Amino acid sequence: MPVIKMEDYHYHLPEEKIAFFPTSERASSKLLVYKNGQISDHYFSEISEILPSDSFLIFNNTKVIPARLVFYKESGTRIEIFCLEPLDDMGEHQKAMSRQKSAHWKCIVGNLKRWKTPIKMNISAEKENIILSAFLESREDEKVNVRFEWTPENYDFSTVLHYAGKIPLPPYIKRDNIESDTERYQTVYAQNKGSVAAPTAGLHYTPEVLQSLHEKGILQDFITLHVGAGTFKPVTCKTANEHLMHSEPFIIRKALLENILNNKSRSLFAVGTTSARSLESIYWLALKNYKNKTSNDFSLAQWDAYSLKGEGFTLENALEFWLENHLHKTNEEILANTSMMMIPGYKHRVVNGLITNFHQPGSTLLLLLASFVGNNWKSVYEHALNNDYRFLSYGDSSIIVP
């Protein structure tokens, strides 16, 4: 595994290049295309004209939850709780969101030093008020374990968050939420609740764009990876090799694997870094279980993909491994976890191209992009900076074909 110096993956990002608000229309964002070493400029509404008809796009259909809860003590002190992941149902977000009466979550708490006793919030729902209480249970470094309880008890936690919470915008968008964020910091195809950050490469798509892709014969399918706050964690080490990558849960679905297997001659594009990370993890988890003569290890460690030797083990082998050993009539999906870190020098096993936004300097997402194009990321970003592209979550898009 190569040593990756982080100083080589920094660039100057002026604040005026950061998109603090979305464009007026999703598909009106700009679209940079990098192919065969050449760069061209387009609008996202043209994407169906740009992609070849034999393309296969895979989207992350996770849904952002309103994970920011703001409480006020009787003294007026503000306590902000950011729900990160469920503790009762580790990784099983759908189950965690359907809990009634109480829920346990790992959280980040603002003004933690001022929180000593239980705090309450009175929420106006459609027909009645909900009383939400938060109890500080334990601390683990920067993270806090919090127990929530509410009345009436027949509401599930998803409904409680709907009325009480706010959409968690990225930390570099230093403004209060506005009403449109509830819609625009969410993809139009979002389905499975659980993310605390949006898979932002998908924010540009509209039903009309998706329909135009379909009419051209471009296949579309979905994978679910619940994006955690770790996606914004900066790399503070001198080398990427020293960085501790966060883990995220994702779902391996039988129908998706069959679809990829039946269309293996198509060019597979990951819509976003989260889709790319999930799809590549599917291959390596299959190889890991195959080589270790196991069949139930569903967690991929940060550097597994670099220590496992995949020569002779094809994508077709990996898909067939899952379908023959795990995914059958009585088991349509598997919950897995990945801490995989994709860095320059990584050899892609599943994904042929990437559709993604423009990422922060020195971030793991920029390293993932560079795993597709190597040092050419610099010319891509230089072009974007010099041609009025908008950066980060609410920014413009790109198609990267290695």
| pLDDT tens digits for range 193-203 | 999 999 999 99
The answer to whether residues 198 and 227 touch, using CB atoms and an 8 Å cutoff, is yes
- Before 22, cis peptide (omega within 30)? no
Predicted pLDDT at 301: 97
Q: Is 271 strand, coil or helix?
A: strand
Predicted pLDDT at 327: 83
Dist. CA 21–CA 4, nearest whole Å: 33
Residue 197 φ then ψ, to 5° = -150, 145
Dist. CA 293–CA 149, nearest whole Å: 44
Predicted pLDDT at 52: 96
Q: Is 108 strand, coil or helix?
A: strand
| pLDDT tens digits for range 78-111 | 999 999 999 988 778 989 999 999 999 999 999 9
* pTM score of the predicted model: 0.94
Q: Give the pairing type, strands 55-60 and 267-271.
A: parallel
Averaged pLDDT for residues 48-60: 98
Tokens 């992609």, located at residue = 51
- Per-residue pLDDT band at 326 (split at 50, 70, 90): confident
Q: Does position 67 have pLDDT exceeding 80, yes or no?
A: yes
Radius of gyration of the chain (CA): 21
Predicted pLDDT at 228: 92
Dist. CA 159–CA 129, nearest whole Å: 12
The answer to whether residues 278 and 225 touch, using CB atoms and an 8 Å cutoff, is yes
Q: Give the pairing type, strands 397-401 and 299-300.
A: unpaired
The answer to whether residues 225 and 246 touch, using CB atoms and an 8 Å cutoff, is no
Q: Does position 261 have pLDDT exceeding 90, yes or no?
A: yes
Predicted pLDDT at 116: 87
Average pLDDT, the chain: 94
Q: How many residues does the chain have?
A: 402
